[in-house]
Amino acid sequence: MTRMRAVDAVALILEKEGATETFGLPGAAINPLYSAMRAHGGIRHTLARHVEGASHMADGFTRAAAGNIGVCLGTSGPAGTDMITGLYAAAADSQPILCITGQAPVAVLDKEDFQAVDIASIAKPVTKMAKTVLEAGQVPGVFQAAFQLMRSARPGPVLIDLPLDVQQTEIDFDIDTYEPLAPSKPAATSAQAEKILDLIAEAKHPLIIAGGGIINADAADRLVEFAELTSIPVSPTLMGWGAIPDNHDLQAGMVGIQTHVRYGNASFLDSDLVIGIGNRWANRHTGDLGVYRNGRKFVHIDIEPTQIGRVFAPDYGVVSDAGAALDALLSAARGRAGSLPDFTDWAGECTARKSTEHRKTNFTEVPIKPQRVYQEMNAAFGEDVTYVSTIGLSQIAGAQMLHVYRPRHWINAGQAGPLGWTGPAALGVAKGKPGETVVALSGDYDFQFMIEELAVGAQHQIPYVHVVVNNSYLGLIRQSQRGFEMDYEVSLAFENINSSGSASSGYGVDHVAVALGLGCKAVRVEDPELIGEGLRVAKELMSEHQVPVVVEVILERVTNISMGTALDAINEFETLAQTPADAPTALTPMGELAAAK
């Protein structure tokens, strides 16, 4: 046993558990832990500009690769409350991140001391565990339990709050005999797998809904194997996108009322058995449940028991890790080789739909229509790119028109959808995927929420491309206001007094100037024929300078993106734009690539 401060034990435990990538801000109440990290040297740290940004960086890092657990650090009081949005985003999408906060000394916790807040109580609803450790001797055990809990069953975040005196109290600890606790995960039985195959045998048009649980379980290869073995088409959810490549014959297209493709909805509506694996039946996926459930049976496999029957009661439910369930299904299907129905014709019908019902993207108008941007992104970035996005018309249109070919190559804050998540999360993803091409996608409002975190990428040389589709509007909110016949407090446009005369001057914030001022590179595109060139230049700048590169694309002010309330009632809108009264009357047809190497 070795005598050491509790925070020295924490630093050693983080290293032993493999959680060595941290993001945060030092402060008086967390400085002892920073001193331990500095002394032991096995932990990397990225200095954020905002603690919420640090929590999203940790989240992005976790999502980037299987086994990752990002760590967010902050001092007492507002640092912890700043983490709450990050904890919510991680919890909602089943992501294990560890947030560690400093705290006032134990003796003054109930005396309204400076920056002393009961952060554990605040964080409990959005974590698997939130605990203020009052005894230094409990620190190793609390961290050991935290890592096991984050990895067990449905993954999720944990917050550990460490009072200043607890951090510095000496304890006896032996890191050499410390062992991570094995996580526990439920597994489907062979009998359950056989029951599912019985239901498949009775079906004519089965369809697999592949959720984010398959990505979390690192089981995409087993999903594809099972689909190929049975010839059952697969529709990924937004969180499961990439579990089967978009260009695979059995990829039937995403289903939903917002993020979807038309042929995906059409195939779903023709199905008679739906097998959900690692999914939540999210409302943006199902839309009207009467339409969604009508005429088909449902199997639901999920790692979290309370998810079974939460939205609607399935015909058969199984509590299981997605990977374990697929292992059982594969074994059962191999045992029934030749006796299951042949779904080749049905799969062929779904594949044939993929060549029809596409939305137009090849617009040539100026101002630029957003659909053209995603066409050019597909061409510019190819199959190896990792996309990062969160919310808004940009994310919805991106999910309708981009292509994803690998697991963990579409990274999205799906349920929480916090504005501002995209930029810091992309930094975390880039840290988790060094040397790979990471491309963030934001509308102008999402981009402005945490724009200061660009400086983190410049300081720490974390390269990625950030595509900002700028219509100077809260586009999704504006579109939803149509039901109220209003366009109220959703425009971001104003005449910028510092405008350099660009045709985008009436759009308000000069994102290129801000990005350059924060130490990054930036290009602006105003001509659709120059989008591809802008993306090419951005990749060159990113490679040369190893910093974030912003590509701002100036869009027409209003484009309504296809969505609806039910799978059979998607409003495709008209291709022509509406023009609000405050929109600039004209934009130059000449593209501006405002980038100096």
Return d(Cα 48, Cα 54) in angstroms, integer: 5
pLDDT of 132-166, one tens digit each?
Answer: 999 999 999 999 999 999 999 999 999 999 999 99
> What is the CATH number for 349?
3.40.50.1220
Cross-strand pairs, 469: 443, 553
Arithmetic mean of pLDDT over the chain: 92
Mean pLDDT of 382-390: 95
Cross-strand pairs, 442: 468
pLDDT at 503: 53
- Supply φ then ψ for residue 388, to 5 degrees: -130, 130
> Does residue 337 sit in the same domain as residue 460?
no
Residue 182 forms part of a structural domain: no
pLDDT at 256: 96
Residue 576 forms part of a structural domain: no
User: Does the pLDDT of residue 501 top 60, yes or no?
Assistant: no
Confidence at 559, pLDDT banded by 50, 70, 90: confident
Q: Domain range spanning residue 534?
A: 370-571
Report the percentage of the chain scoring pLDDT > 70: 95
Return d(Cα 252, Cα 271) in angstroms, integer: 11
- Interhelix angle for 31-40 vs 6-16, to 10°? 50
> Does residue 33 sit in the same domain as residue 120?
yes
> Does residue 196 sit in the same domain as residue 173?
no
Residues 6+ apart with CB under 8 A from 531: 368, 372, 373, 376, 525, 553
Which of 327, 353, 379 is the endpoint of a domain?
353
Return d(Cα 476, Cα 397) in angstroms, integer: 11
Q: Identify whether the C-beta of residue 19 lies closer than 8 Å to the C-beta of residue 11.
A: no
> Does residue 345 sit in the same domain as residue 375?
no
> Does residue 554 sit in the same domain as residue 438?
yes
Edge-to-edge order in the sheet of strand 316-319: 234-236, 206-210, 273-277, 297-302, 316-319
Residue 491 forms part of a structural domain: yes
| Coil, strand or helix at 301 | strand
Mean pLDDT of 60-67: 96
Residue 398 forms part of a structural domain: yes
pLDDT at 114: 80
| E strand segments, 65-157 | 70-74, 97-103, 129-132
pLDDT of 81-136, one tens digit each?
Answer: 999 999 999 999 999 999 999 999 998 888 888 878 999 999 999 999 999 999 99
Q: Which residue has the higher pLDDT, 211 or 476?
A: 211
- Give first-to-last CA distance, the chain, whole Å: 56
Q: Tell how strand 129-132 and strand 158-163 pair up.
A: parallel
User: Does the pLDDT of residue 358 top 70, yes or no?
Assistant: yes
pLDDT at 582: 40
Which of 304, 324, 353 is the endpoint of a domain?
353
> Does residue 278 sit in the same domain as residue 326?
yes
pLDDT at 508: 85
> Does residue 306 sit in the same domain as residue 424?
no
| Coil, strand or helix at 314 | coil
Mean pLDDT of 304-310: 96
pLDDT of 246-262, one tens digit each?
Answer: 999 999 999 999 999 99
> Does residue 58 sit in the same domain as residue 131?
yes
Confidence at 488, pLDDT banded by 50, 70, 90: confident
The CA–CA distances, whole Å, from 51 to 442, 450, 458, 533 equal: 20, 11, 18, 36
Return d(Cα 558, Cα 479) in angstroms, integer: 9
pTM of structure: 0.93
Mean pLDDT of 40-55: 95
Residues 6+ apart with CB under 8 A from 270: 205, 349
> Does residue 401 sit in the same domain as residue 437?
yes
Return d(Cα 300, Cα 324) in angstroms, integer: 14
User: Does the pLDDT of residue 376 top 90, yes or no?
Assistant: yes
Domain count, the chain: 3
pLDDT of 161-207, one tens digit each?
Answer: 999 999 999 999 999 999 999 999 999 999 999 999 999 999 999 99
Return d(Cα 354, Cα 265) in angstroms, integer: 11
> Does residue 403 sit in the same domain as residue 303?
no
Residue 526 forms part of a structural domain: yes
pLDDT at 583: 37
Residue 591 forms part of a structural domain: no
pLDDT of 405-428, one tens digit each?
Answer: 999 999 999 888 899 999 999 999
> What is the CATH number for 120?
3.40.50.970
Q: Identify whether the C-beta of residue 400 lies closer than 8 Å to the C-beta of residue 260.
A: yes
> Does residue 424 sit in the same domain as residue 555?
yes
Which of 325, 353, 381 is the endpoint of a domain?
353
> Does residue 336 sit in the same domain as residue 453?
no
